[in-house]
Amino acid sequence: MWFRSTLAYRASFLLTTLGHAASSALEFAGILIIFSHVDQLGGFSVGEVALMYATASCSLGLADLFLGNMDQLGARIRDGSVDTMLIRPVPLFAQVAADRFVLRRVGRIIQGVLVLGWAISRLDTTFSPLEYVLLAGVIGCGAVIFGALWALGGAFQFWAQDAAQVQNAVTYGGNRLLQYPPTIYGTELLRGVTYLVPLAFVNWIPLLRLLDRESPLGLPGWVDFLSPLVAVALCVLTAVVWRVGIRTYRSTGS
Amino acid sequence: MRTSGLYRAVAGSSFRRYATYRVATAAGVFTNTIFGFFMSYTFIALWDQRPDLGGYDQAQALTFAWVGQGLLAATAVIGGGFREELQERIRTGEVSIDLYRPVDLQMWWLSADLGRAVFHLLGRGVVPLAVGALVFELALPTDPLRWLLFCCAVLLALLVSFAINFLVALVAFWLLDGNGLNMVSNLLGMFCSGMVMPLTVFPEQLGTFLQWLPWAALLQVPADVLLGRYSGAGAFAVLLFPLVWAVVLLLLGRAVQAAATRRVVVQGG
């Protein structure tokens, strides 16, 4: 329904889709400005950094498309409309996800795919068909990890109610983090986004394998293939937290 | 005298209104600080290879990044100010009540926005900058005069930011839906103010061009004043730039306001 309602206003749809593409394009412009002054950043070439940018952008775009509305949950809890949703015979999660489904968010994905193509053309190595499959898997797993973190943030609002900004720090902030090579960050930060909030599995860890690079944390090789497992584990965790959240949820009254 | 008291009261209540959202403020501080860290690491990597890029040394570049995060909420570069609220009042027609009041529309919203901005300066400006100064080596001045000039530059930045957002909001009188325009405005603000990268680091001609646009007043000018890129009389002269833009844009806002209010037709009874 939201799908059709968005398409009803064609001009507005086109404009906002372009806007979404342009807003992520500006982040990429920042990267290009940096590379107009240097050949390498943290030991990575412009093609390699563009690959990181593109995979992070596609993963975030996909997660945003399906679960971006999770940050509305806090507002819905405050104004009490969650109560209405809870008595409907459809799981709350599906309702929040489908609520105001905004197709214009494909803008970020389209722009990400374009940069992805450009990045691959700039790389010295050519990928084998298997490596292309791996690349698609990276984007898919990354989307699930971003999505789970988004939903986890949403579930957290059952308790915090007003912390959508914290969620943005993890998702949009994580996106900003993963657009640049891991070698420019401090070790503590890298440990944090590997073991604590597993953002590194969105693209850094599998991409380092694809690009034949050493892990800056010196992790063993098999860790490079853990992204699907991390994604599944995060989904399970999110499901549990979501359920506990609903059970402890108290309506705001009135 | 009485009207100036009124506008002070409007600003004060706007300040208190934003001060009530404590969790949201804490969450905002957290986000600004996180982004400050990410930008700092990028800048360190870049300035390690190119010391003196854009005329800044590394400590100055890091200061630029953290001042930007500190001003982001106050100057409402990517939204979050009064703009959406005014647009909604225009869309629903509630603005007719505002116009009926014996106060000036522009002055009313300017006072309210200044109240909001001052709260965001204290709430989301000081803490990230302090965290940045603790963790990284920043080039913050010890000269009180330079801090005073910086405060003037920030005040002018708030005026320019209000004037831009007021103009954007008034377009809702004609377009009704401001979403697309807001997005464009946020993009321009982010890119042309120096929040992504100092404007002096941009490709030369583009950078020079952007430094003449009003958005440069939002971050580039205050940061440069704080970093002491202008000294003596030059420091006062550089403040003329945001001052002129503020006056021009505020006058333009008045003209558009006059044209828009002639269009308002109050329906119903």
User: Complex ipTM, two decimals?
Assistant: 0.85
What's the token pair of residue B91? Answer: 């869309």
CB-based contact A173 B35, cutoff 8 Å: yes
* CB contact at 8 A, A198 and A145: yes
- Tokens (6 digits) for A137: 């898997």
Whole-angstrom Cα distance, residue A147 to residue A163? 17
Q: Give the residue from chain B lying closest to A13, CA to CA.
A: B180
Residue B118 token pair: 């001052």
Neighbours of A85 (CB within 10 A): 17
Question: Cα dist. B160→A140, B75, B259 in Å?
Answer: 43, 9, 21
B99 and chain A in contact, CB less than 8 A: no
Are A33 and B42 inside 8 Å of each other by CB? no
Nearest CA in chain A to B33: A169
Closest CA to A51 of A129, A104, A125: A125
Pair A178, A56: CB distance under 8 Å: yes
Model confidence pLDDT, tens digit, residues B234-269: 888 899 999 999 999 999 999 999 998 887 766 654
Residue B133 touches chain A, beta carbons under 8 Å: no
- Helix, coil or strand: residue A49: helix
Q: How far apart are CA A240 and CA B145, in angstroms?
A: 56
Considering only CB atoms, which residues of chain A are within 8 Å of chain B?
12, 15-16, 19-20, 22-23, 26-27, 29-30, 33-34, 36-38, 40-42, 160-166, 168-169, 173, 176-177, 180, 184-186, 189
Q: What pLDDT, on a 0 to 100 scale, did the predictor assign at position A64?
A: 87
Q: Which of A35-39, B74-78, B134-138, B197-201 has the lowest mean pLDDT?
A: B74-78
**Hey, what are B99's tokens?**
């116009």
Interface test with B, best of A12, A37, A170, A178 (most B CBs within 10 A): A37
Q: List the pLDDT tens digit at each of the 254 positions of chain A.
A: 656 666 666 666 777 777 777 877 888 999 999 999 999 999 999 999 999 999 999 999 999 888 877 777 777 777 777 777 777 777 777 777 776 666 667 888 999 999 999 999 999 888 889 889 989 999 999 999 999 998 888 888 777 766 677 777 888 889 999 999 999 998 889 999 999 889 999 999 999 988 988 888 888 888 888 899 999 999 999 999 988 888 887 776 54
Q: Nearest-5° angle of CA B253, CA B174, CA B111?
A: 35
Sheet strands (E) in B129-203: none
Q: Is A44 helix (H, G, I), strand (E, B) or coil?
A: strand
Q: What's the helix, strand, coil split of chain A in %, to 5?
A: 80, 0, 20
What is the phi/psi pair of residue A186, to 5°?
-75, 160
Question: Could you tell me the CA-to-CA distances from A235 to A92, A149, A152, B94 in Å, in that order?
Answer: 16, 9, 9, 45
State chain B's maximal CA–CA distance in angstroms: 69
